[in-house]
A and B are shown apart, each in its own frame.
Chain A
Amino acid sequence: MNPVIRTLALACATSGAVLLSAPARAQSFDWKHFDGETLNVLLNNHPWSNAIRDLAPEFSAKTGIKLRIELLNEDPQRARLGTLLQAKSSDIDVFNSLQIREGAVYAKAGWYADLTPFVSNRALTAPDFNLEDFGEGLRKTATFGGKLVALPINVEGPLFYWRSDIFAKCKVEVPAFLEDIPLAAAKLKACDAGQGVWASRGVRNAIPYAMASFVFNSGGDFKSADKKQPGLCQPKTITGLSMYADLLKNYGPVGATNQSFPQVVELLGQGKIAMTHESSNEFSNIMKYPGREGDLQIKVLPKGRDSGISKPVAFGFGLSISEYSKKKEAAWYFVQWATSAEVETKLVAKGVAPPRTSVFAGPAMKNWAGEKPVRQQWADALREISRTGTGDYASPTDRVPETREIIGRAVQEVVLGQKTAKEAACAADIDLAKLQ
Chain B
Amino acid sequence: MKSIVAAPAAASPAGIAQRPHPGLGQRSLSLAWMMWPAVSFVGAMIVFPLAYAVWISLYDASLGAEPRFVGLGNYLGLLRDPEFRNAFKVTWLLYAAALAMQLVLGTWLGVVLNGVRWARNLVCTIAITPFMLPPVVVGMMAMVLLDPSVGIVNWLIGLIGMPPQLWLAHPTWVLASVALVDTWQWAPFVALLVLGGLQSLPVSVFEAAEVDGVIGWRRFVFVTLPLLGPTLLTAAVLRSVDLLRFFDLVFIATRGGPGNASTTMNMYAYQQGFEFSRFGWASASMITLSLVVLCTVVVFARLRRAVSW
Contacts and interface: CB of A to CB of B under 8 A. Distances in A.
B202 to A, nearest CB: 48
B13 interface: no
A109 interface: yes
Interface string A54-96: 0000000000000000000001001100100010000000000
B147 A82 contact: no
A255 B164 CA distance: 10
Contact of B169 (A86, A199, A255): A255
B259 A263 contact: no
Interface string B240-258: 0000000000010111111
Contacts of B271: 405
A255 B166 contact: yes
A328 interface: no
Nearest to B148: A255
Given A255-B148, A272-B150, A398 B169 contact: no
B274 A82 contact: yes
Interface in B98-127: none
Contacts of B276: 399, 401-402
A259 B166 CA distance: 12
A105 B64 contact: yes
Contact of A263 (B147, B164, B167): B147
A255 B64 contact: no
A11 to B, nearest CB: 60
A253 B149 contact: yes
B248 to A, nearest CB: 11
Given A253-B149, A266-B150, A399-B276, A416 B171 contact: yes
Interface residues of B, number: 29
Q: What is the predominant secondary structure among interface residues of chain A facing chain B? A: helix
A412 B257 CA distance: 9
B149 A105 contact: no
Contacts of B64: 104-110, 398
B169 A257 contact: yes
Contacts of A266: 150
B65 interface: yes
A318 to B, nearest CB: 17
Interface string A194-207: 00100100011100
A409 interface: yes
Interface string B253-286: 1111111100000000001001111000000000
Nearest to B174: A258
B257 A257 contact: yes
Contacts of A260: 255
Give the interface residue-count category, chain A: 35 or more
Interface string B59-75: 00001110000000000
A413 interface: yes
B258 A416 contact: yes
B259 A272 contact: no
A267 interface: yes
Contact of A409 (B147, B168, B253, B259): B259
A413 B257 CA distance: 11
Contact of B167 (A105, A199, A255, A272): A255
Nearest to B272: A402
Interface in A176-205: 196, 199, 203-205
Contacts of B257: 203-204, 257-258, 412
A259 B143 CA distance: 9
A86 B61 CA distance: 12
Contacts of B258: 257-258, 412, 416
B259 A255 contact: no
Contact of A254 (B65, B148, B260, B277): B148
A203 B65 contact: no
A186 B148 CA distance: 22
Given A258-B168, A412-B258, A263 B65 contact: no
Contacts of A106: 63-64
B239 to A, nearest CB: 25
Contact of B149 (A75, A205, A255, A402): A255
Nearest to A273: B149
Contacts of B274: 75, 78-79, 82
A7 interface: no
Contacts of B275: 78, 205, 401-402
Contacts of B65: 108
Contacts of B154: 254
B150 A267 contact: yes
A270 interface: yes
12 contacts: A75-B274, A105-B277, A107-B64, A253-B148, A255-B166, A257-B259, A258-B143, A267-B150, A270-B150, A272-B150, A398-B64, A402-B275
Interface of B: 63-65, 143, 147-150, 154, 164, 166-169, 171, 251, 253-260, 271, 274-277
Q: Which 6 A-B pairs have the closest CB atoms?
A: A108-B64, A255-B148, A255-B169, A253-B149, A254-B148, A258-B169
